[in-house]
Amino acid sequence: MNDTNKSGLIVVGGGITGLSSALTWALNHDVKEDPVLLIEKEPKTGGYVTSYEREGFLFDTCQMIPNISDILDYLGIEIELKKFKGYYMRIFLVNPETDEVKVLELPSGVETFKKQLMELYPNNAPQIEKFLDHSREMYLELFNLKLEPTGKEILKTLKMCPKIVANSSKTFKKYFEKFGITEPDVEEIFNVFAEFSALPAEQVTAIVPVSAMNSLLDGAFRPKDGFIEFSKKIEEKFQALGGELRLKTEVVKILVENGEVKGVQLKDGEKIFSDYVITTVDPMVAMKSMVGLDIIREVDKKYAKKVESVKMSTSSMNLSIGLDDEIDLDALGMDCGYNVITTGGDTFDRLFEAYEKGEIGFTDKRFHMGVVCPSLTTGSKPNITVRITPMALADWLELRENDREKYKERKQKWADFFIDKVEKYLIPDLRKHIKVLDVSTPATYARYSGYISGSVYDMAPYPDNFGRSRLKMRTPIKGLFQPKFVHGVFGCLLAGMQANDMILDRKIMNGNARYKA
């Protein structure tokens, strides 16, 4: 392929999925012969994975990743990762009627975690052991899964991945119920893993919390110099290999002719041609607006129908809080992975019900939030991050665009609400120490990423929206891929490699869902 105006591959969107897609291509081609072009609408790459400076404080969007050293090795990049010390997680379970707080502390390491739970809840010890062992085996089965299995491989999957197959249509709640655990605190602990995916336990597919729990208990990390290191390092390597990057450039169309992808069209009308396109933007925008459902329908009615039924994940609110040097976060036990403050029980289900109606369900008697302290892990100036899901986009964007004052007022009202809770239950006198407060709303996420629903975790992992029922990465348009069904930094890095594996007939991962070095 030597046409000078034509790329081998165009990648739409320079977030982590796009960066990984583009770099993997560059690692596996002579880019002089088969050029690769990465197109990003913003002035910098990284998408949702970024760091930003406010008045001398460096804040991150993301907070935690599992051990991804094998993938970083494959991509040939080095990032200094710091492991979270102390507890893996602490849950502050608030009784909304009495204001009493019960603290559940969970250590890192699968075996230590299991031992502690069994000691704390002896009545349920055998059930806890069975649940954790079964879940571990199910998690390890992921390494035997093929992404696009052949007939023979499907038969093999039935043998090699029996637990995944048996539970693929189950929600986490249904899966958990099989083990007969009766202690409410234990259920509370495991439900938090479900809520990491921003879905209630009774709606999320079982394998997602099971993988989050196992991978993060094995070790939780964050980059020492901020999450922006990911885009910085991948971008550098990509360009060093001869890959081309165009920033501040918006794709408006994916060009298709006779069921085959031909390239993309930019906002200014320019057309760029290529053999392959990998789109890493909101899959609804990509399929409905950039390609067009009618065009997809002509080639594959089933895929077009699937696009119409895809459910996206929720949006979020985030408070990044810079603190003075007087505060002793260490003494408050903040040197741990994740702190959850919750009214427990059916809190998350009710919050989710409100979210589905476009409402905010948080009240003084019902709340749920995550609090992380990056600075004790990285050694930066004292700061904490408060993460709130589920939040619907609802009218946040409209308000931001049409009534700035009202938008600011609402943002402050909810920031105050969540700061009050953190001050009351986790960090006494927090307000006294605040130097900088930066609040992101669903409008921030929608504007920045281009997700029309402000979704922070892409397609939501309901059983009928995930695994074999997901919107497939290989689209029916020949040469067009959309590796957008796994959320999180790890999943996105992997997805970029998977799309290239499909293009290169299994050269990179041998068709496996997980990369094996």
Instruction: Give contact residues for ligand FAD (rule: CB under 6 A).
Output: 12-18, 39-42, 47-49, 61-65, 250-251, 280-281, 316, 318, 445, 449-450, 456-457, 484, 487-490, 492
Shortest distance in whole angstroms from residue 499 CB to ligand FAD: 11
Hey, is 457 helix, strand or coil? coil
Shortest distance in whole angstroms from residue 318 CB to ligand FAD: 5
Nearer to ligand FAD, 93 or 459 (CB): 459
Given a contact cutoff of 8 angstroms between Cβ atoms, the answer to whether 511 and 152 are in contact is no
Shortest distance in whole angstroms from residue 289 CB to ligand FAD: 9
Nearer to ligand FAD, 43 or 151 (CB): 43
- Kindly state the tokens that stand for 205: 């597919």
Shortest distance in whole angstroms from residue 44 CB to ligand FAD: 8
Shortest distance in whole angstroms from residue 393 CB to ligand FAD: 13
Strand partners, 263: 255, 273
**CA distance linking residue 429 with residue 198, whole number of Å:** 29
Spatial CA neighbour of 315 closest among 388, 227, 373: 388
What is the DSSP annotation of 168-185? TT-BHHHHHHTTT---HH
Shortest distance in whole angstroms from residue 39 CB to ligand FAD: 5
Nearer to ligand FAD, 114 or 232 (CB): 232
Please list, in sequence order, all residues whose beta carbon lies within 8 angstroms of the beta carbon of residue 274, skipping any fewer than 6 positions away.
Answer: 6, 7, 8, 9, 10, 37, 261, 262, 263, 264
Contacts of residues 99-108 at CB distance under 8 Å and 24 or more positions apart, as own/partner, are 101/425, 102/185, 104/185, 104/188, 104/189, 106/189, 108/84, 108/217, 108/219, 108/220, 108/337
Cis peptide bond N-terminal to 390, omega within 30 = yes
Shortest distance in whole angstroms from residue 102 CB to ligand FAD: 26
CB atoms within 10 A of CB 309: 10
For CA atoms 404, 407, 413, 414, the dihedral sign is negative
